[in-house]
Amino acid sequence: MTSDECVIEADGVRRRYAGGFEAVTGISFSVARGEIFALLGTNGAGKTSTVELLEGLARPDGGTVRVLGHDPYREREAVRPRIGVMLQEGGFPSDLTVAETLRMWSGCTSAPRPTGEALELVGLRDRARVRVKQLSGGEKRRLDLALALLGRPDVLFLDEPTTGLDAEGRRDTWELVRTLRGGGTTVLLTTHYLEEAESLADRLAIMHRGRIVVAGTPAEVTASRPARIRFELPDGVGARRLPLGLRAAADGRRIEIRTHRLQESLGELLRWAQESHVELLRLDARSASLEEAFLDIARTAHDSTAREASGQEAAVAA
């Protein structure tokens, strides 16, 4: 990726808190112009600490951060007018109406878009005269997004953007984010909804304990994890009759096969079933989802961390 294409860049970034706790431990990644990049991780993985550095809200304790070619902390005046930030919680004055909140924020925004246009984008035009305290949780998230879009940002940071939205509101937000990307906006997204990341992200990174443990396109990340085949055997047919080439786990009649060769393994299973005159009940075969890959990666990373800690304790004891 050339410097002209790179809009967000983190190189060896570290962040420490009081007491010496290191929340971000030397991570590196970049985001291209017009790309949607998802930063995922378990609670405490360091996502929020990383995003705050990118937004210029804090200075890294090591490494470098660049947004639109600038240090977002030291060169805030150059960066701030060109980014939009949607925090997990906006903290609006509760007695202002939706329209009044947008007008107030417009006064702090360079070249803001019309408030009516911002409300239309997020589906709140008919709620313009409603006081903020009367909005539902999902409507407040839409207002958060409207404020982030007021300045027509080149870079948009979305921190858990669809929390509290119903299914329709979530899908509408996804379509809006895709439209913004189509217009050239670069989006960095954090979310606990893995379906959201899988649907939206061009690329993603998964963090654990301050480190990036895997990165790539959603397809690349899921391809590294085994697919699964599930079915039930009829009465009188034991799991021991299955082809030896298929590694199967049995729970009574329920069978699960994990494989990195889904088409080949499924073909072998179906040929065996046909030749043996066995009906496979409730047959379901699918590639790993991002959720399955995420849980597997998180579990593997956790086990590795636990082994490291155990080894350190043993070394100290010795």
- pTM value is 0.82
| Amino acid at site 130 | V
| Helix-, strand-, coil-residue percentages of the chain, each rounded to 5 | 40, 25, 35
In this structure, what token pair is assigned to residue 40?
A: 């995922």
pLDDT (tens digit per residue) in 300-315: 766 665 565 555 555 5
Strand 83-86 and strand 62-67: pairing? unpaired
- With beta carbons less than 8 A apart as the criterion, state whether 6 and 54 touch: no
pLDDT (tens digit per residue) in 21-72: 999 999 999 999 999 999 999 888 999 999 999 999 999 999 999 999 999 9
What's the rounded mean pLDDT across residues 225-241? 93
Mean pLDDT, the chain, rounded, equals: 90
pLDDT (tens digit per residue) in 103-155: 999 988 888 999 999 999 999 999 999 999 999 988 999 999 999 999 999 99
CA 272 to chain centre: 40
In this structure, what token pair is assigned to residue 168?
A: 């329709």
| Amino acid at site 49 | S
Give, to the nearest 10 degrees, the angle between helix 98-106 and helix 137-149: 20
Assigned fold of 6-219: Rossmann fold (3.40.50)
Which residue did the predictor score with more confidence, 120 or 318?
120
The per-residue b/e assignment along 116-132, b for 16 or more CB within 10 angstroms, e otherwise, is: eebbebbbbeebeeebb
pLDDT (tens digit per residue) in 250-289: 999 999 999 999 999 999 999 999 999 999 999 999 988 8
DSSP 3-state of 97: strand
